[in-house]
Amino acid sequence: MNKYFKLRITNYKLQTIVARHWLLVMSVLLLAPYSLLFISCSETPNSVGKNLLPNNGDVNIDSVVVFADTGGTVAKPINGGTLRLFLGENFTAGLKAISLLRLEIPTVLDTARIDSAKFSFRMNYTVYNENNFSAPVNFYAIDSSVDFSAFRWSSYDSLSPFLGTAIAQLTPQQLADSVFEFTIDSATARTVISSSKFGLLLRTQNSLIGFESFPYTFSHSPRLKVFYTINDTTSDTLLVTKGKGVFVANKTLPPTPEVITIQAGIAERAFLRFKTLTDSISAFSTVFKAQLILQQASPFQFEENSQPIFLQQLRENNTDSLFNNGIFNNTLSQTDSIVSFDVKETVQYWLNGGTQYGILLRSKSENNSLDNFHLHNFNALQPSLRPRIEIFYKKAQ
């Protein structure tokens, strides 16, 4: 075989080898995406799905724990139209509750001589005996031209300048009767009753009592029966059954200030405020998961099938007036020592520029149940017991 044919055979073998290698390289390149897909599918898919967090390496997930720095227990103020007037002082470790009444006195009494007056109240709430109830319920006449709306739980003690001598008392012996009546003499009646100036403050100690308020059925509402004389000749009676009732309460610190209390029967709520999130997290970061963690101070006590706690995002700084506002967060019906709430929506709202007023905790059925629970507060002695929000997020770009 001559040199020419040997060279052609050698070149042919070389071209064949190159072609085979080229096909192998192309096959690897074409199959690479499918290989990667197969490999990724064989791993735990934790980048999607409910309650799953993305891979830290994929999206740089960070986490932070933000503790509550203020908070406490407050009592819900009820203004006008409430069906109950609660009374109590030194009740359940620091609750003070009083009630005020303003009656709509007809103008006919402006020029009349008031001879006497009789008040009637109907009790609708069982007396709570804390210390073998012995203190009476005191009734005080006050100037109703004072703005009743100013009397909030936070200004309970400001009522002291308006208290004079009690015009009547409900003694423990009278508590067996569902209807309580008392008469005030003519001198007192002339002083405290007129079309423009009249108010009644009810106050007691060591017990919790409830009276019917306005509006209610005719036979159950508070009433005032006035005996009066016109022009020194004509005597008559007047029955006043219209007015406004205000329940005012204040919750002082309990014996262990590191505990916050929520009690449905007396409309107690708790609120928590947290350190500013943007001090730890960039504004507009994306929140993947956020949980409010709370720890019980004592076992929950709540009615069967009730949902004892739900959260609201506070939309105002004044916790005394926003109990029916805010974003609803979650309900809870478990009795674990550690309880948690999904607050992702609220945390995202705060990071997106919403004002961080805090979170309100309240009983879902607070008006007609005995739900009662105690939670460790922000100043609990052990940091692990304090309320906190655990946040998983991606930093804003």
Which contacts of 132-137 are long-range, i.e. CB under 8 A and separated by 24 or more positions? Answer: 133/172, 133/175, 133/206, 133/207, 134/172, 134/206, 135/204, 135/205, 135/206, 135/207, 136/169, 136/170, 136/171, 136/172, 136/204, 137/87, 137/169, 137/170, 137/202, 137/203, 137/204, 137/209
Q: Are 68 and 387 in contact (CB under 8 A)?
A: yes
Lowest mean pLDDT among 19-33, 51-65, 82-96, 195-209: 82-96
| 311 C-beta neighbours (distance < 10 Å), count | 22
> Mean pLDDT for the chain?
65
- Compute the C-alpha angle 155/156/157, nearest 5°: 95
Residue-wise pLDDT for 100-109, tens only, equals 777 777 888 8
| pLDDT of 323 higher than 50 | no
Lowest mean pLDDT among 16-25, 219-228, 288-297: 16-25
Give the mean model confidence (pLDDT) for residues 340-369: 78
Q: Which residues contact 384 (CB under 8 A, 6 or more apart)?
A: 295
Per-residue pLDDT band at 174 (split at 50, 70, 90): low
The pLDDT value given to residue 217: 55
Cα 307 to Cα 295: distance, rounded to the nearest angstrom: 17
Cα 100 to Cα 86: distance, rounded to the nearest angstrom: 10
pTM over 0.85: no
The pLDDT value given to residue 38: 39
Please, what's the largest Cα pairwise distance for the chain? 157
| pLDDT of 392 higher than 90 | yes
Cα distances from 3 to residues 6, 7, 8, 9, 10, in angstroms, run: 5, 6, 9, 10, 11
| pLDDT of 256 higher than 50 | no
The pLDDT value given to residue 336: 63
As a three-state string, the secondary structure of the chain is CCHHHHHHHHHHHHHHHHHHHHHHHHHHHHHHHHHHHHHHHHCCCCCCCCCCCCCHHHHCEEEEEEEEEEEEEEECCEECCCCEEEEEEEECCCEEEEEEEEECCCHHHHCCEEEEEEEEEEEEECCCCCCCCCCCEEEEEECCCCCHHHCCHHHHHHHHHHCCCCCEEECHHHHHCCEEEEEECHHHHHHHCCCCCCEEEEECCCCCEEEECCCCCCCCCCEEEEEEEECCCEEEEEEECCEEEEEEEEECCCCCCCEEEEECCCCEEEEEEECCHHHCCCCCCEEEEEEEEEEEEEEEECCCCCCCEEEEECCCCCCCCCCCCCEEEEEECCCCCEEEEECHHHHHHHHCCCCCCCEEEECCCCCCCCCEEEEECCCCCCHHHCCEEEEEEECCC
Give the mean model confidence (pLDDT) for residues 32-61: 46
Per-residue pLDDT band at 288 (split at 50, 70, 90): very high
The pLDDT value given to residue 26: 61
Q: Are 245 and 116 in contact (CB under 8 A)?
A: no
The pLDDT value given to residue 92: 44
| 92 C-beta neighbours (distance < 10 Å), count | 17
The pLDDT value given to residue 41: 40
Q: Is 36 exposed, middle or buried (0-12, 13-18, 19+ CB in 10 A)?
A: exposed
The pLDDT value given to residue 183: 81
The pLDDT value given to residue 168: 72
Q: Report which of residues 368 and 63 the model is more confident about.
A: 63
Q: Which residues contact 54 (CB under 8 A, 6 or more apart)?
A: 46, 47, 61, 288, 394
Q: Can you give the C-alpha Rg of the chain in angstroms?
A: 35
Per-residue pLDDT band at 74 (split at 50, 70, 90): low
The pLDDT value given to residue 342: 85
| Domains of the chain (ranges, CATH numbers) | 61-73+267-394 (2.60.120.970), 77-250 (no CATH)
The pLDDT value given to residue 393: 92
Per-residue pLDDT band at 285 (split at 50, 70, 90): very high
Q: Report which of residues 160 and 193 the model is more confident about.
A: 193
| 316 C-beta neighbours (distance < 10 Å), count | 12
